Amino acid sequence: MNDTRKNANRRSGLPPGDIVYSILTRCAAGAVLLIAIGIVISLTGNSWPAIQKFGAHFLVDTTWNPVESEFGALSSIAGTLISTVIAMVIAVPLAVIIAFFLVELAHPILSKPIGYAIELLAAVPSIIYGMWGLFVFAPYMADHIQPALQRWSGDFPLFSGAPMGIGMLSAGIILALMVLPFITAVMRDVFRMVPSVVKEASFGMGSTTLETAQHVTVKYGFSGLIGAVFLGLGRAVGETMAVTFVIGNSHDISLSLYAAGNTIASTLANEFTEAAEPMYISALIELGLVLFVMTLIIQVLAQWWIGRTQKKAGAGL
């Protein structure tokens, strides 16, 4: 009698603690979903007036005229892409050879603190990079690096114009510095996962360290390299403060990397609180939407890639 009642109790419901537990965790997970959906809805909703007014033309128009309420995103999109490309061109090879050094060359006594220091670069807040970039690095660029580049490259159009320090190139270099630790960390893990038997086989054939890295380690870790690049891309595209400090905030598109430019994030940071016109605000939020879509594409591609290689690795190993 007593037993059946106990059983019925057990079947009829969970302990009250478990009900609360289940509700709370579900609510929290729901909140995550809600935020993700909320970002899409709020950005689309608030940029709707601008989307209706400018249509697809917004994406290819270079006008940015708050007075006349005429807005086009091309200069910001171009600036975002150019600064990101500069950052990746510098950071990816650098990260690969740093990871190579940390895994293949350096003694653990050296490798650990150096790896740690590189990782600390990621912990430095964006605004500190901005301060350092504006007051220390940009003047140094203007005085030393930019004139030297000009002398060395002749009249190359990418390095033409007055060396002011601030501008697209400086922003790209600082971005490179900021994404470097993320890419290095992933590459280091990837290189570490290469089985030593494979490497030893290569050494046994008489390969040098470089040849082993080139033909074995990097080939083995190529998919990881792509993943690391995606990670860096995602970071670089949306980086705001450091770029805002050094890019110069101009809405002109220039061929020269010495010229001031803007990115989507820097335009938002600079202009959003000053915008009073509803159409101005709406256009800025549409810029935000464009940036969000860019990061979303990068994320989806990255996850697709990781999923693909995981499946492949699972089948192969």
Restricted to residues 76-135, the positions that interact with another protein (CB under 8 A) are 94, 97-98, 100-102, 105-106, 114, 117-118, 120-121, 123-132, 134-135
Q: Which is nearer to another protein, 89 or 300 (CB)?
A: 300
Binding mask 30-49 for another protein (x = CB under 8 A): -xxx-xx-xx--xx-xx---
Binding mask 180-209 for another protein (x = CB under 8 A): xx--x-----------------------xx
Q: How many residues bind another protein (CB under 8 A)?
A: 82
CB neighbour class for 93 (10 Å; exposed up to 12, middle 13-18, buried from 19):
exposed
Smallest distance from another protein to CB 118, Å: 5
Q: What Cα–Cα distance (Å) separates residue 307 from each residue in 153, 187, 224, 251?
A: 43, 18, 12, 39
d(CA 311, CA 305) in angstroms, rounded, equals 10
Nearer to another protein, 90 or 253 (CB): 90
Tokens of 289: 């939407």
Q: Which among 70-78, 158-166, 218-226, 285-293 is the span making contact with another protein, rule CB under 8 A?
A: 285-293
The alpha carbon of residue 36 and the mean position of all alpha carbons in its chain are separated, in whole angstroms, by: 19
Nearest alpha carbon to residue 288 among 22, 27, 50: 50
Residue 295 binds another protein (CB under 8 A): yes
Exposure string over 219-256, b if 16+ CB within 10 A, otherwise e: ebbebbbebbbbbbbbbbbbbbbbbbbbbbbbbebbeb
Please select the residue that binds another protein; options are 240, 260, 262, 280, rule is CB under 8 A.
240
Task: Select the span of 56-64, 195-203, 215-223, 239-247 touching another protein (CB under 8 A).
Answer: 239-247
